[in-house]
Chain A
């Protein structure tokens, strides 16, 4: 798998993703500047966590205007796999690649803690390495992770099976306990929990590896189809 890890000014989980995908899983992972205009040649694009441009207006609201976003939209439209984590999720919703919005946690506080999650749909390119309804624990670390979508959108998400991860103990007020969801086509996933922080036994958990292993599996398939 060849992964592009986007890096916006203020991204701070880009190196962690490079480490998890590149060093831990032995894949090719390349940091790509937000000023880049071309994403061809990559199997997946990872949009990392952090505070892009300081997140001073709203999380992700400035990042969506970066040059790389035009390429990212084209990449996603062509069916390429895009994974946005934390701030990456916020950027994808702001850019219109995923429905809904991430608002302030109901506690109005930043929350960093391990959070048990339910794998609500394991038939996606991002979750196929997990069992259906498997319970995994991933760390969250965000102030604005409270997922909101209007009732019609929310109903449609559920009908389509777009909700991939749900909180068992909703920490932030997200509607329908949504922790991660895909677009309708299923090739773009956004999630607030950090799978790259649960990728090494030394650091306490490897529950997050499944997300990346799912993508490795999915992109192997893609390569076969291409042949």
Chain B
């Protein structure tokens, strides 16, 4: 069993209106030293796979096909093996 932790966020060049609002609001409430804000999505998947490399390849495919819109979004993930249930 493997656990994948996936982060999806806008590519740096794409306007992120939610992040803009958060940044502007932070400035208004005094946290004006916040330089950048990025808003994204976080996914957790558990999956079975023959090995680490196969799990990573599959997660990459899932991200590319569904979890991220690669026109505007970038993603990165970590995959780690879960210890077998006792």
Contacts and interface: CB of A to CB of B under 8 A. Distances in A.
Question: Quick check: do A and B touch in the complex, using CB within 8 A?
Answer: yes
A153 to B, nearest CB: 9
Interface in A63-105: 65, 93-94, 100-101, 103-105
Contacts of A65: 66
Interface in A132-161: 146, 148-150
Contacts of B69: 58, 61, 94, 101
6 contacts: A101-B72, A103-B72, A106-B17, A108-B18, A148-B71, A150-B13
Given A103-B15, A148-B14, 18 more contacts: A61-B66, A93-B71, A100-B71, A101-B69, A101-B72, A103-B14, A104-B17, A104-B18, A106-B15, A107-B17, A108-B17, A108-B18, A108-B21, A146-B17, A148-B71, A148-B72, A150-B13, A150-B71
B81 interface: no
B1 interface: no
Contacts of A103: 14-15, 17, 72
Contacts of B4: none
A173 B15 contact: yes
Q: How large is the interface on B (under 10, 10 to 19, 20 to 34, 35 or more residues)?
A: 10 to 19
A202 interface: no
A149 B14 CA distance: 9
B12 to A, nearest CB: 12
A57 interface: yes
A148 B70 CA distance: 12
A173 B17 CA distance: 10
A177 to B, nearest CB: 15
A38 B45 CA distance: 34
A225 B66 CA distance: 39
A107 B18 CA distance: 9
Contact of A57 (B18, B67, B72): B67
Interface string A48-60: 0000000001100
B66 A57 contact: yes
A170 B14 CA distance: 18
A105 B14 CA distance: 13
A157 B66 CA distance: 25
Interface string B69-85: 10110000000000000
A146 to B, nearest CB: 8
B9 to A, nearest CB: 13
B58 to A, nearest CB: 16
B4 to A, nearest CB: 16
User: For B15, B18, B67, which residue has the most chain A Cβ atoms within 10 angstroms?
Assistant: B15
User: For B14, B21, B66, which residue has the most chain A Cβ atoms within 10 angstroms?
Assistant: B66
Interface in B44-78: 66-67, 69, 71-72
User: For B13, B14, B15, B69, which residue has the most chain A Cβ atoms within 10 angstroms?
Assistant: B69
A32 to B, nearest CB: 23
Contacts of A150: 13, 71
